[in-house]
Amino acid sequence: MGMKNHLKMSFPSLGENVGIARITAASFAAQLDLTLNEIEDIKVAISEAVSNAVIHGYAQTSGQVEVTMNLYEDKLEFIIVDHGHGIADIDQARQPAYSSDPERMGLGFVFMESFMDQLEIESAVGQGTKVRLVKNFVANSSH
């Protein structure tokens, strides 16, 4: 399936930039004939993924977060990369109640999984984390 559009953004790991990534993802998704609910799902998933990078990936340090958005004929793909601390145990991190930060609910990955059609996590301690989110849709031939 050919790529129809793509966008790549890179920004410092500041909390303020989570909202910018979220709005950009919503605008990118709005190229499609999606429902408001579907766009809301994407916004929540992107917020969670970018927040994770900012809060957990870089914790007390700071660095760049990269968000790549790809539009294919049948799916939207979002890739969120940080070069921060990494996740020691991805299976554990995917559990609903788990959080490395007791102040947070730890539902990030569970939310991402429920709002998107596909969630892939690659991580190496000390090297960072890559989260890939995919939203499938039925290509509408009338466009």
Annotated active-site residue 48? The verdict is yes
Among 17, 22, 52, 77, the active-site one is 52
Alpha helices, DSSP H only, in 9-96? 16-29, 36-52, 90-93
Helix-then-strand count for the chain, H and E: 4, 5
Q: Supply the pLDDT for residue 140.
A: 58
Spot the catalytic one: 5, 73, 104, 136.
104
72: pLDDT confidence band, cut at 50, 70 and 90?
A: very high
Pull the structure tokens for residue 73: 């004929």
Phi, psi for 34 (deg, rounded to 5) = -95, 160
Question: For residue 88, which of 130, 126, 47 has the smallest C-alpha distance?
Answer: 126
pLDDT at residue 102, rounded to an integer? 58
| pLDDT for residue 96 | 75
Which member of 17, 22, 48, 132 is catalytic?
48
Measured distance CA(46)–CA(7) in Å, rounded: 14
52 is catalytic: yes
Res 143 pLDDT > 50: no
CA 76/CA 28 separation, integer angstroms: 9
Residue 2 pLDDT level (bands cut at 50, 70, 90):
confident
pLDDT at 56: 87
Terminal alpha carbon distance of the chain: 16
Tell me: pLDDT of 67 over 80.
yes
* Nearest by Cα to 62 from 94, 17, 103, 93: 17
Chain segment 27-56, per-residue pLDDT in tens: 999 999 899 999 999 999 999 999 999 988
Domain boundaries, the chain: 5-136
Q: What is the CATH number of domain 5-136?
A: 3.30.565.10
Does the model's pTM come out above 0.75?
yes
Containing 108, the helix (H) or strand (E) segment is helix 108-115
pLDDT of res. 111: 80
Question: Does the pLDDT at position 59 exceed 50?
Answer: yes
Q: pLDDT tens for residues 82-138?
A: 999 998 888 888 887 666 665 555 557 888 898 999 999 999 999 999 999 999 987
